[in-house]
Amino acid sequence: MPDFILSTRAQSSNLYVSFINPLTKKYGTKRSTGTSDRKEAEKIAYKWLLTDEYNKTPDTSQRNLLNAIRLADFTLTDAHEIIEMLKTKGLVSSAVMVNDKANVPFITFLENFWNYDNSPYVKEKLRKKHSIHKRYVARESGAVKNYLKPFFKDITLGSITREHLNNFINTVGDLEKPASAKGKNSVINTGTLALKWAARNEIIEKDITDALVFYHDEERKEKSLRQN
């Protein structure tokens, strides 16, 4: 295939040059040579080709980079490095690799987390001789089924963001039941406690639950005042 082709446009008498992309083997954006003389246009095109001038057109380097990424045979290590670079540029906040422990549905993670017989969290509690009752775990499992699953659906654990959590908190706040702040906070805590544990055990990169604003428990405040 030739390095470039010349063509015309209906609205102009000038000849336009399109250079072939060595990666995609396709001709790129047309660029005016500023002349209608074919020999002159060819001279200009060859000059641009020899001096790499055609690569200095707007967004060409970015486009070539994207083409290279599309065609390259990446390893997971390569992909991880690209993600880290995008993070440093502020373009990506989080990403989940296919072999990542966080590449599981959030609800699947919660269902296992609140399963008394299989939960690594329960095993950890028991190992430390901390009390954790089956009734409590069963109640949290019910909260996953009734409240978290309808909201989070198929979102992966590693994709959960603070925005997701804040939206969930707002959704729980609009529910008629549970009506009390204590009940609403208990539902929210079903997910946030599991996320804190996941961050502590390096399953997810960071604790995204830090400093979340829960519902104020007026009942607890009034009870405390009565006791005083």
Residues 125 and 197 in one domain: yes
pLDDT digits (tens, 9 = 90+) for 91-135: 665 665 554 677 899 999 999 999 999 999 999 999 999 989 999
Task: Indicate the pLDDT class of residue 45, thresholds 50, 70 and 90.
Answer: confident
- Claim to verify: residue 9 and residue 111 sit in the same structural domain: no
**pLDDT 10s digits, 206-221:** 899 998 999 987 654 4
Residue 90 lies in a domain: no
Domain membership of residue 38 as a residue range: 4-61
Flag whether pLDDT at 19 surpasses 50: yes
Say if residue 129 is in the same domain as residue 28. Answer: no
More confident residue, 145 or 95: 145
* Pairing mode of beta strands 31-32, 4-9: unpaired
**pLDDT bucket at 223, cuts 50 / 70 / 90:** very low
Does 208 share its domain with 128?
yes
The number of domains in the chain is 2
Same domain (yes/no): 42, 120: no
Residues 45, 148 within the same domain: no
pLDDT at 3: 81
Give the per-residue pLDDT at 21.
76
Is the pLDDT at 77 greater than 60, yes or no? yes
- Residue 67 lies inside a defined structural domain of this protein: no
| 127 and 187 fall within a common domain | yes
Average pLDDT over residues 143-168: 94
- Rounded to whole angstroms, what are the CA distances from 172 to 75, 95, 114, 178, 197? 42, 27, 20, 8, 22
- Distance between CA 45 and CA 76 in Å, rounded? 40
